[in-house]
Chain A
C-alpha cells in the first residue's frame, strides 16, 4: 500500500471538515465537522508513524490516542456550551448568536 493512499484520504477528510465548519450554522453540525478534521489528522499520524518503523508506529498511535481523548473533552465542553445557548434562545443557530458589533 502506498502511504499516500492514506495521506490523501486524510487531506480529503480534512477539506470536507473545513467546508463543514465554514458552511454549517447549526452548532452541533459544526462540532461534527471538527470531528472529521480530527479523524483526518489521526489517519495522517498513524500512516506517517508506520513509515518511520516500529518506534514511529507506536508514536503515531499514542499521538492519535491523545487526539481522541481531546476530541472527547472538546465535544463534552462544546455540547455544554451549545446547550447553554439553547436554554436561553431555543435555538442552536450560530448565525443568530451575534449581539456584539463594532
Chain B
C-alpha cells in the first residue's frame, strides 16, 4: 500500500485502558512471563526455592495492587467502575476474589517447592501454570460479560488439566488429568451452549445489559432462558464440584499431585463461585424464583452426598475431596439465600475455606511421603508422637472444617446458615446443620487416628520413613493455621471485607 492509502485508513477506536484496574492481572501474567523467560535463559540452575519465592513475591505484589484497588472502590467519592469497554467490573467482589485466589497461589507455591524437589520434578512449569491458572480465575471474578467469564474459566481449566497430570510417571496423576480434562471440557461445552441460549433470550452477553433487559421486559415464554440457566448451572456446578456434577472430584483430587490438589480445591472453587454468584445472584436476580429451586437442589445434594460419602472413605485425600463437596454445599446455602447477607456469608466461607483446605492438603503433601502415595488413614496413625506440631496443625484445620467454635470454620457455617434462616430457607438450614454433624465424624476419625494410634500400629510407625517438614510448607501451614484461629477469634476485619464485597451491577458506559 502506498503511504497515501495508508493515511486514509481510519484508526480503530480502541477503548480507554485503565491499567490500574487490571493491575492484579498484569502482575500475575507478568510474573509468569518473567519466570518462564528467566528459566529458559538462565545458564545455571537457580538457588533452591527460587521459583517458589518468585511466585510468592508475585502474589504479594498482586495483593498489594488489589489493596490499592480496594481503597479506590470503597472510597465513597469514586466507588466501583467498569473498565476497558465495559468488559470487566472492578468492585469489592472482584478485589475480594483477586485476594483469595492470589492467596491460594502463594500457599500452593510454598507447598509445591519441596514437593517438586522430592519427586524429582523441579522446574518453573508448575509455578508458571499456577500463575496463569490464577489469572484465569481472577478474570472470571472481574468479568462483566459472559464471554469473559467463559474465557477466564477456560484459562483456569486448561492450566489445571496440565497441572493434574504433572507427575508424569505416576499412573494416578495421568488418570486424574484425563478424567479432569474429558469431564471438564464436556462441562465447559455445556456452559458455552448455555451462554448461547442466554444470549439468544436476552440479546446481549454483558451483565449490565442482560439485567437491564430482564428487568425491563416480561418474556412471553422463558423456556429458552430457563434452559440457559440449567446449562450454565451444569458448567459452573462442575467447577465448584457440586453434586450431581461432582463425579470427577474424588478421583481427580486423589490422583493429582497433592500441592496441585490444594490449589485446585481452593482457587478453582473460589473462581467457580465467583462466576456463579455474579451470574446468578447478581445478574439473574429478577429470575430468582426460577433459579433458587435449582440452587436449593444442588445445595442439599452436595451437603448430603459430600458428608455421607466422606465417612466411608479410607483414603485421606478422598475424604478431603468429599468434604470439599460438602463445603461447596454450604457455600451454595449462602448463594441460595439470594441476599446480600447470603453473598457476604458465602464470601467469608470461601476465604476461610481457602486457608483450611490448602492447609489440610498441605499436611497430606508432607505425610504422603516420597512418591506421593501414602495417603491411607494408617499413614496418620501415631502422627502426634512422630510430629506433634504437624498433628496439632492438622487437628486445628480439621476442627475448623468441622465447624468447632473459635475457628474461622465455625463462623463461616454460622453466617451462611444465618443467611438461609433470614431468607426463610429453614429446611435448607436444618439439612446444613445435620450434614455438619455427619461431616464432623470424618474429621474426628482422622484426628483420633493421629492421637490414638495404638501400640501395634505404633510399632509399624517406626518402620515408616520420617515425615519431613520443609520450611516452605511449614510457613504455608503456619499461615493457614494462624489465619484460621485469628479469624475465628477476631472475625470483624474479614466480616467487613466480605460485607463490602457484594457484587455491583454496572452497565457498560
Binding site for B on A (CB under 8 A): 7, 14, 17, 21, 27, 30, 34, 37-38, 40-41, 44-45, 48-49, 51-52, 56, 59, 63, 66-67, 70, 73-74, 77-78, 80-82, 84-85, 88-89, 94, 97-100, 102
Residues of B within 8 A of A59 (CB): 205
A sample of 19 inter-chain contacts (CB < 8 A) reads A37-B186, A38-B192, A41-B192, A41-B193, A44-B193, A44-B200, A45-B199, A48-B199, A49-B199, A66-B150, A74-B154, A74-B158, A77-B181, A81-B165, A81-B177, A94-B182, A99-B171, A99-B172, A102-B254
Residues of A within 8 A of B177 (CB): 81, 84
Residues of B within 8 A of A89 (CB): 171
Q: Is the interface of B mostly helix, strand, loop or mixed?
A: helix
Tell me which of A38, A63, A74, A99 contacts B175 (CB under 8 A). Answer: A99
Q: With A48-B199, A94-B178, A100-B251 in contact, is A84–B165 under 8 Å at CB?
A: yes
Structural contact, A77 and B192, CB atoms closer than 8 A: no
Q: How far is it, in angstroms, between the C-alpha of A91 and the C-alpha of B367 when the chains are bound?
A: 33
Residues of B within 8 A of A30 (CB): 182
Structural contact, B178 and A82, CB atoms closer than 8 A: yes
B151 at the binding interface (Cβ < 8 Å): yes
Residues of A within 8 A of B181 (CB): 77-78, 81
Stretch from B278-286, B313-321, B468-476 at the A interface? B313-321
What are the 8 tightest A-B residue pairs by CB atom distance, in nearest-first order?
Answer: A48-B200, A37-B189, A44-B196, A102-B318, A41-B192, A100-B251, A97-B175, A81-B177
State how many residues of chain B have any CB contact under 8 Å with chain A.
37
B161 at the binding interface (Cβ < 8 Å): yes
Q: How far is it, in angstroms, between the C-alpha of A81 and the C-alpha of B158 when the chains are bound?
A: 11
Structural contact, B189 and A34, CB atoms closer than 8 A: yes
Query: For residue A51, which residue of chain B has the nearest CB?
Result: B200
B386 at the binding interface (Cβ < 8 Å): no
B255 at the binding interface (Cβ < 8 Å): yes
Closest-CB distance, A87 to chain B (whole angstroms): 9
Residues of B within 8 A of A82 (CB): 178
Query: For residue B250, which residue of chain A has the nearest CB?
Result: A102
Not counting A66-B147, A74-B158, A99-B171, a sample of 5 additional A-B residue pairs whose C-beta atoms are within 8 angstroms of each other reads A49-B199, A63-B147, A70-B154, A99-B175, A100-B172
Q: With A34-B186, A81-B178, A102-B250 in contact, is A73–B196 under 8 Å at CB?
A: no
B339 at the binding interface (Cβ < 8 Å): no
Residues of A within 8 A of B72 (CB): none
